[in-house]
A and B are shown apart, each in its own frame.
Chain A
Amino acid sequence: MSTQTSLTGKGDNLKTLVVVFLRGGADGLNMVAPAHDDGYYRARPRIAIKDRDTNAAKLDGSFILNPILKDLAAPYHDGALAVVHAVGSEDATRSHFEAQDLMERAGDVAGGWLGRYLRFRGATTTGALSAIAVSRALPESLRGAPAATVMRSLEDFTLGKGGGLLQASLEKLYAKEHDALGASARDTLAALSRIEKLSKTTYSPAHGASYERDDFSQGIKQVARLIKARVGLEAVSLDIGGWDSHITQSAVMDPQMRKLNAGLSAFYRDMGKTGMAHVTVVVMTEFGRRLAENSAFGTDHGRGSVMFLMGGGVKGGRVMAKWPGLTKDVLEGPGDLPVTINYRDVLAPILQRHSPQVDLAKVFPAFELKPQAIYG
């Protein structure tokens, strides 16, 4: 029996959703800047991304990419990466905790949206390694998943020190079980063995990709390995923290953008065109930042921000926005880019693409979905 396909029963058709959460409220306006909107330059005389003095990639004649994110221009121009702008949630507390909580739970309901997706995606069984959080604890979004694994590295997938003997004994006992439990045990053991083999070999990323040494790059590298090893990965959650740029914005944010740029672009290269067809990467944050810079070269908590969507057939090469303009009358509350697209409307079509049978009403309850046309 080929374990390559038995783990999921879906073989090559299995799609993986990789969610990257930028914690702390990432400034979408400086990641993908509205170069066409004077309001932006007026409000940010000192910290705006300036068209003229940077190599800023022009995305679509209106928006420009922060030069630190320059390597995302390649997937963008390949048509594999799309930006959604002025996107976010309905939470207007501008509290990190409240906003992250709401966005990850997606409503006044138990578990997180990713967890509920896995439970209500229309599959009867869930593989041992279907959901992974590359972090120290289970994120809110993955709560309620039928089985979720928290890992820092591949080495976490063992039965402890000296677990080899135990594993061998378990293999013998479960070999005699001819029911679904036995089958599931064999899948789990096969996944353990495969990961053990992986962790003993040095990983060579494909297509000349090279990963940086920071946590995010190392984490997404492990994700690439696991996807290639076909252990049945369906949902992954990764975080990049440190986006709360109240003072000297560039000192706070630039290092995080460097991580995002390096990690995503290495992953994109490593997976290659064929690989990326089966993977959708979603980058999101709990809220954006105030339009106007503050006296400390920073920005305070705001509302709308950006999402990046990469791979999985997403129609890239465009900035999707219902751009409201940045005039006083459209700014929200203390002067924030309004949320014109709800993040659920971006996620819903992706979930449906990955699992056509998904019960979206259970994943995003009490919300009238208006799915965005992210596939064109």
Chain B
Amino acid sequence: MNSSRRHFLQAGGAASLAAVAIGCDKIQVPEMLLPGRRATAPPDGPYATPAGKDIDLVSQALNRLTFGARPWDYQRTRKLGTTEEAAFAAFLDQQLAPEKIDDPNCENATRRFELLNEPLGELFEYQEKHLLDALVRSTVLRAVFTERQLYEVMVNFWSDHFNIDPSKGDAKWLKVADDRDVIRAHALGKFPAMLRASALSPAMLWYLDGRVNKKANDVDKPNENYARELLELHTLGVHGGYSQKDVMEVARCLTGWGVQEVGRSKLNLGSVEFKPLQHDRGEKVVLGHVIPRIPKQAKPEEIEKLGRAELDTVLGIIGLHPSTAKFIATKLCQRFIADAPPAAAVSGVAEKFIVSGGDIPATLRALFATDAFLTTRGNKLKRPFHYIVSTLRATHATTDAGPTIQDYLLRMGHAPFHYPTPDGYPEEAAPWLGTLLWRWNFAVALTKNELGNATKLDAAKLRASFATEENQMAHLLGRAPSADEITACKESGAPLALLLASPSFQKC
């Protein structure tokens, strides 16, 4: 099917739905069919809320392992164990086995983005702006609605770690497959497998020029763009003990990999191929490991086999290297503990990363068991994406993640899939401190229902989810409110907006 027809069908679908909604106001359109979505609330309210004056372990878990607590999350999570510790352990077990969690709200909210499931070649039939919009919206909607929260948090983490700017070349189409087949397929899997998938992701081959890294003749100079970022950003880290020579040698090992691209072929668009004649057959030395020359008399199929294998040899050298372990552990600890995490936590997590063979759930378990994680609470600034999603979750709002939401994310410089360089959005607080005005404006707009028809909250319903006003405050703050907060709420004339704009709600 050609793309214009498909777009017509999509547009037609949306238009006829609108006609139903506008033209026949007596017909009740099922909520499921409307663009805005709301998670189904469990029936056992009013919900219990945290009672302590400090953030307890359950709220800590909801702050860090999820994109923020919904009105019922604290009660539901707390009930998983007789003690806070037991509840946290049970919650962690659940979250680390996302495939066992039913997720109907999320499935309903993202069903219309079925184009994201298209096979590689089919993606090229869509206009790139539709793909980007679908990616951004489904990413926001998943974060808001999924029960598999830790999985989604890790998707967010790895999307930055293996950042691809989909503006570049065929990545406009291929990032969809990268998000699905690299990031989402391995977010709670094994790091070496994710690394390999990323190395052979057609979008990555485009973004970091791997597709033009070749040695077809004596004058060809390998393109070292991907090799450098592979070592610097994906594995060892900038001070991870490699040299410029290592970068060159890795680039040579990876010569010959390419992508079927638009304009050159109509067959197998986007599929990755290895071209033995473009592979550098000389000897290489990577971090001291010698990769022998491919003999001159080798047959083509032999060259292909040996050439392909060099990718795995390189990834084998760096995938579980101590520097990689330290680098990944540092980034995970920055995400889950503090911008400057204690060295002891990092080294413990790094060790687990190595002994588990880069098993991400095992590594996370080690992290969540550190003293630093258990005791460092309420200190991390939510990045704007986390902030927006957490306000929608906390207030049980409907949303379609449409233009008004994306507009705020753009203004705050944190729209998914909009970061230009391969290092991904920064994790630490400093670059995001200029976004407060927009957070406050968002809090005001959301609580006044000024974000369009598809993003709305029902303040009365929300209030009815809790026995008292102070319970509602405790839900939003993850702890009992302070006297100052209670006073400020009363004086503000807009208690809900004030809490969403308050210092504590900016943090997690």
User: Taking beta carbons and an 8 Å cutoff, which residues of A are in contact with B?
Assistant: 105, 108-111, 115-116, 119, 124-130, 137-138, 143-150, 157, 159-160, 162-163, 165-166, 168-170, 172-174, 176-177, 180-182, 184-185, 188, 191-192, 362, 365
CB–CB A109/B493 < 8 A: no
A359's nearest neighbour on chain B, judged by CB, is B421
Q: Is there a chain A Cβ closer than 8 Å to B503's Cβ? A: yes
CB–CB B167/A108 < 8 A: yes
Point out the residues of chain B lying under 8 angstroms from A138, CB to CB.
407, 410-411
B421's nearest neighbour on chain A, judged by CB, is A362
Docked complex Cα distance between A186 and B484 (Å): 17
CB–CB A144/B413 < 8 A: yes
A363's nearest neighbour on chain B, judged by CB, is B420
User: Taking beta carbons and an 8 Å cutoff, which residues of B are in contact with A?
Assistant: 165-169, 381, 407, 410-413, 417-421, 429-438, 440-441, 444-445, 448, 484-485, 487-489, 491-494, 497-498, 501-503, 506-507
Docked complex Cα distance between A110 and B171 (Å): 12
B444's nearest neighbour on chain A, judged by CB, is A160
CB–CB B411/A148 < 8 A: yes
Docked complex Cα distance between A108 and B491 (Å): 50
CB–CB B381/A181 < 8 A: yes
A174's nearest neighbour on chain B, judged by CB, is B503
CB–CB B413/A147 < 8 A: yes
Point out the residues of chain B lying under 8 angstroms from A173, CB to CB.
484-485, 488, 498, 502-503
Docked complex Cα distance between A129 and B437 (Å): 9
Given contacts A119-B413, A169-B488, A188-B436, contact A111 B418 (CB under 8 A): yes
Known A124-B431, A145-B413, A146-B432; 11 more pairs at CB < 8 Å: A108-B169, A119-B431, A125-B430, A138-B407, A144-B413, A149-B411, A159-B444, A169-B491, A170-B492, A172-B488, A188-B437
Report B279 CB to chain A, min CB distance, Å.
Answer: 25
Point out the residues of chain A lying under 8 angstroms from B440, CB to CB.
159, 170, 188
Which 3 A-B pairs rank lowest in CB-CB distance, beginning with the nearest?
A147-B434, A169-B492, A126-B434
A-B contact pairs, 15 of them (CB 8 A): A110-B165, A115-B413, A147-B412, A149-B437, A150-B411, A165-B492, A172-B484, A172-B487, A176-B484, A177-B503, A180-B433, A181-B436, A188-B440, A192-B437, A365-B420
Given contacts A163-B444, A166-B492, contact A126 B433 (CB under 8 A): yes
Given contacts A147-B412, A362-B420, contact A170 B501 (CB under 8 A): yes
Report A195 CB to chain B, min CB distance, Å.
Answer: 10
Given contacts A177-B503, A188-B437, contact A144 B418 (CB under 8 A): yes
B419's nearest neighbour on chain A, judged by CB, is A110
CB–CB B169/A182 < 8 A: no
Point out the residues of chain A lying under 8 angstroms from B507, CB to CB.
181
Point out the residues of chain B lying under 8 angstroms from A109, CB to CB.
165, 167-168, 420
Most chain A beta carbons < 10 A, residue from B410, B417, B485? B410
CB–CB A185/B444 < 8 A: no
Given contacts A108-B167, A110-B167, A125-B430, contact A146 B413 (CB under 8 A): yes
CB–CB B503/A128 < 8 A: no
CB–CB B492/A144 < 8 A: no
Report B297 CB to chain A, min CB distance, Å.
Answer: 40
Point out the residues of chain A lying under 8 angstroms from B433, CB to CB.
125-126, 180-181, 184
CB–CB A110/B420 < 8 A: yes
Point out the residues of chain B lying under 8 angstroms from A144, CB to CB.
413, 418-420
Docked complex Cα distance between A116 and B421 (Å): 10
B164's nearest neighbour on chain A, judged by CB, is A110
CB–CB A168/B491 < 8 A: yes
Docked complex Cα distance between A166 and B441 (Å): 11
A362's nearest neighbour on chain B, judged by CB, is B421
Report A91 CB to chain B, min CB distance, Å.
Answer: 15
Given contacts A128-B434, A138-B411, A143-B410, contact A169 B168 (CB under 8 A): no
A131's nearest neighbour on chain B, judged by CB, is B434
Pick from A108, A163, A362: contact of B168, CB below 8 A.
A108
Report A79 CB to chain B, min CB distance, Å.
Answer: 35
Point out the residues of chain B lying under 8 angstroms from A128, CB to CB.
434-437
Point out the residues of chain B lying under 8 angstroms from A177, CB to CB.
503
CB–CB A148/B484 < 8 A: no
B489's nearest neighbour on chain A, judged by CB, is A169
CB–CB A148/B502 < 8 A: no
Report B136 CB to chain A, min CB distance, Å.
Answer: 12
Docked complex Cα distance between A188 and B417 (Å): 28
Report A234 CB to chain B, min CB distance, Å.
Answer: 10
Report B196 CB to chain A, min CB distance, Å.
Answer: 26
Docked complex Cα distance between A109 and B206 (Å): 12
